[in-house]
Structure 1
């Protein structure tokens, strides 16, 4: 059985102050890309070692993983004067996600059993990383609404402090949700893989009848 280690995703966020506009508005800008790293190996054990040696390196753990999702938040906030107080004029959150997945170069030559195991594992890694990207998207949209919902402050220095405080809280909430998802996935990995392998095997048997 392959070892799948689930990394805690780190998020970065930076907000810039722009020129004031008249109405509070927001538009979350989201981009996603997928890249692959190639691995060799002719047996399950060799594939396991190849994933451990060639997978993306996680800086927070110093170890490599079979897949990863790089997440970066950013954006701009503008401020306006309303009845002598400083308020958020516009809030635009940006989110960039880069999913990194393995690609086995010997898949076409693999035996049926090993191909079955690999296809099942590769699909599960992809699903796992796509879910990380989805969690980030949900938080980006929530973050934008939270900025637009801030009440005006006496001056823009106080308003900027509130924005910074909210930014830190939202990123911390995002990281907790990502970590919670990883813990749940890790706890259920063996049972999930057995169930998925059995499902694929049953599907193959039905197709051969």
Structure 2
């Protein structure tokens, strides 16, 4: 599961030449929530009670949240406004369950396999978020508009392009979750393997 929060586009007006696009700056943080249980089923029930919220009534096993903040530098020459530099900062937070009681050797092995799959799933959400920000940076790099001496039209166009890319990638996140969580999907198989024999 993933959550998206977008910080405002910050604009700095600068007179200079040459459009530039920087690599996406990414920070990653991992948090945990504690669960207990002596069986796979009990661990799943604990995750269902304590996991990160997914909508109003349900909870997720794990979650990938991210925020994006922008710094955009503008080059204004006469009535032409151009993006000189667009730099995004992507902050990703992964939230995973952590078992706080002892487990039997068999359950410990099943838990390790389960968590390996859960981490892989959430890290894919992080990869999609990185791709989204890279696509947005490419879409606005070098943008130039005439008859825009105060860069208002250009700022609106940057926002429009970024919003369209975010919407596209949000749909990619949703499709990925639907594929992974469907009956017989990767997450479904992980849950079944953890729950077997209790």
TM-score bracket for this pair, using the shorter chain length: 0.7 to 0.9
Provide the rounded CA distance (Å) in 1 between the counterparts of 2:192 and 2:48: 24
Q: List gaps (5 residues or longer) in structure 1.
A: 1-6, 198-209
Q: Indicate the structure with greater strand content.
A: 2
Matching residue within 103, 106, 113 for 2:98: 103
TM-score by length of structure 1 reads: 0.81
SS in 1 for 2:117: helix
Matching residue within 145, 150, 159 for 2:154: 159
1:23-78 per-residue CA deviation (whole Å, 9 max, x = no partner) reads 311222111111111111112221111101111123x4442111001110111112
Matching residue within 176, 186, 191 for 1:189: 186
Matching residue within 14, 25, 28 for 2:20: 25
5 Å matches for 1:2-151? Answer: 7-22=1-16, 23-27=18-22, 28-58=24-54, 60-82=55-77, 84-106=79-101, 109-151=102-144
Q: Which runs of 4+ in 1 moved over 4 A?
A: 194-197
Provide the rounded CA distance (Å) in 2 between the counterparts of 1:194 and 1:79: 50
Q: Indicate the structure with greater helix content.
A: 1
Aligned residue number for residue 3 of structure 1: none
Q: 1:190 to 1:164 in 2, by over 3 A?
A: closer
Count of residue pairs brought into register by the alignment: 188
1:132-177 per-residue CA deviation (whole Å, 9 max, x = no partner) reads 1111111111111111042424201111110111121011012111
Check whether the contact 2:10–2:72 (CA below 8 A) recurs between aligned residues.
Answer: yes
Check whether the contact 1:13–1:167 (CA below 8 A) recurs between aligned residues.
Answer: no
